[in-house]
Chains A and B, each alone.
Chain A
């Protein structure tokens, strides 16, 4: 059981290049999330999805797009990378938004540097 898997783990981009981060989960979770974490700071939500075919904006969505074509996959795209997008990106998933408290599981992170 792999849990939440992110690819690639490391990437260096030039300003203006595009790329896609792939997140895959094998827990049959409905909800998936993309966060970014900058040095010395907590995680900030970029986009999230509450089910296949749905996406929604989080706290810091500008410069990113997402797609959830399959329940198990959540893609994060950078159309024109900027140095401000240098960060560590974490994908996460959970069963649902039940207030009774479903745990959110995180991937190991993708380190992106934009030069």
Chain B
């Protein structure tokens, strides 16, 4: 199963773009990259997912490298409410849809 590596923590100034990296060098060709976030004491929230092409929605953009070994989640204009733990997850098809959560990146958005 593909594993992911993320920095433990990052800071970002309010109003600036937050770029959260993730390494997934053992990802297989049919595995998707998912991003979730967890704001303190709340349930995880889906952000975005992708296979090989870059993706954008109302919350964020996902940039996946051509070799698919890494990706970056971009929050274009971070606000204080974006302070959360961000999880990069590679979907494990064999495990009946289970998401393997690591420890994620603690993003702190500062005024």
B97 nearest in chain A by CB position: A97
Can you sample 13 A-B contacts with CB below 8 Å? A31-B96, A41-B103, A42-B87, A42-B103, A43-B44, A44-B101, A58-B98, A97-B93, A97-B96, A99-B30, A99-B91, A101-B32, A105-B46
Task: Please determine whether A104 and B104 come into contact, CB atoms closer than 8 angstroms.
Answer: no
Over the window 61-83 of chain B, the binary record of Cβ atoms lying under 8 Å from chain A Cβ atoms (1 yes, 0 no) is 00000000000000000000000
Which residue of the partner chain, among A44, A90, A97, A99, contacts B32 with CB atoms under 8 Å?
A: A99
B62 to chain A, nearest CB (A): 12
Residues of B within 8 A of A90 (CB): 43-44
Given A41-B103, A42-B103, the answer on whether A48 and B98 have CB atoms closer than 8 Å is: yes
Q: How far is the CA of A106 from the CA of B34 in the complex (A)?
A: 14
Contacts of B51 in A (CB 8 A): 101
A113 to chain B, nearest CB (A): 14
A103 to B34 alpha-carbon distance, docked (Å): 9
Q: Please give the residue numbers on chain A whose beta carbons come within 8 Å of chain B beta carbons, in ascending order.
A: 4, 31, 33, 35, 40-45, 48, 50, 56, 58-59, 88, 90, 92, 94, 96-97, 99-109
Q: Which of A4, A45, A50, A101 contacts B91 (CB 8 A)?
A: A101
Residues of B within 8 A of A59 (CB): 98
Q: Is the CB of A106 within 8 A of B30?
A: no
* A contact residues around B41 at 8 Å (CB): 88, 109
A8 to B41, CA, bound (A): 15
Given contacts A48-B96, A101-B32, contact A106 B101 (CB under 8 A): no
Residues 42-63 of B, flagged 1 when their CB comes within 8 A of A and 0 if not, give: 1111100101000000000000
Shortest CB distance A4–B (Å): 8
- Complex Cα gap A84–B26 (Å): 34
Q: Which chain A positions have C-beta within 8 A of B87? A: 42
Per-residue 0/1 for B86-110: is the Cβ within 8 Å of any A Cβ (1 yes, 0 no)?
0100010100111101111000000
